[in-house]
Amino acid sequence: MGNDTKEKKFCPSCGENVDTYFVDRSGGVESEGKKKGDICCIFCGMIVEDISGNDVIPAKSILISDDSAMVRELITDMLKENGLTKDVIASKDGSDFITLFVKKISKKTPFSLVILDVSMPILNGVNAAIAMRAIEKALKMKSTPVLFFTAQKCDENFKKVLTYCKPALYVNKGISSTPDLLASRVSQVIIKLLKDIKS
């Protein structure tokens, strides 16, 4: 990997206008989900210029878990309005999330994608995702893509969480100045996740 300094590109994941990013030249294990030549954010590794050109196929169903009713409603509306899914189920905390996740897989209709707020009461989003991965492993299921919501920047510890829970991305919801901007950024990252699972 080499560092290139070029014009600024907006990273929908961390919300930064980055003027330093890298071109992924390896396409190897350490850059799973990326293709050789993708332009990636230097801060979080998210692709900021997708060269794949694939059309996104809507998710069959998405599970959202956030303790804020306003955020749940905002994201549900955005997912439906942008044609990313028709079926959204919402939960208020990690415990409720695990219950809904297990009910859905017991009916042999797993979720296509889950969205987890990192900071929730009872069971936070990281622990809920780790529990979900344990359930999937025990049942020999394919890993469900995860989108984490957090109000903090992606540090080295959180990068380890993303690696452990892959396929996983995150959105720093704390830097969006308006609900519409947050919805737009979430939409871009979800499209990236959905493209990755179809390719």
Q: Give domain limits for the chain.
A: 2-49, 62-198
Please check whether residue 48 is in contact with residue 41, taking contact to mean a CB–CB distance below 8 angstroms: yes
- Residue pLDDT, tens place only, 85-138: 999 999 999 999 999 999 999 999 999 999 999 999 899 999 999 999 999 999
- Residue pLDDT, tens place only, 143-183: 999 999 888 878 888 889 999 999 999 888 776 667 777 78
Answer yes or no: is pLDDT of 36 > 60.
no
Strands 39-41 and 17-23: antiparallel
Cα dihedral 123→142→114→52 (10° resolution): 140
Find all residues with CB under 8 Å of 103, minimum gap 6, and list them: none
What percent of the chain is modeled with pLDDT above 90? Answer: 44
Q: Can you say whether the dihedral through the CA atoms of 149, 155, 157, 161 is positive or negative? A: positive
Instruction: Supply the mean pLDDT for the chain.
Output: 80
CATH number, domain 62-198: 3.40.50.2300
Which of 11, 29, 9, 30 has the alpha carbon at shortest distance from 154?
A: 11
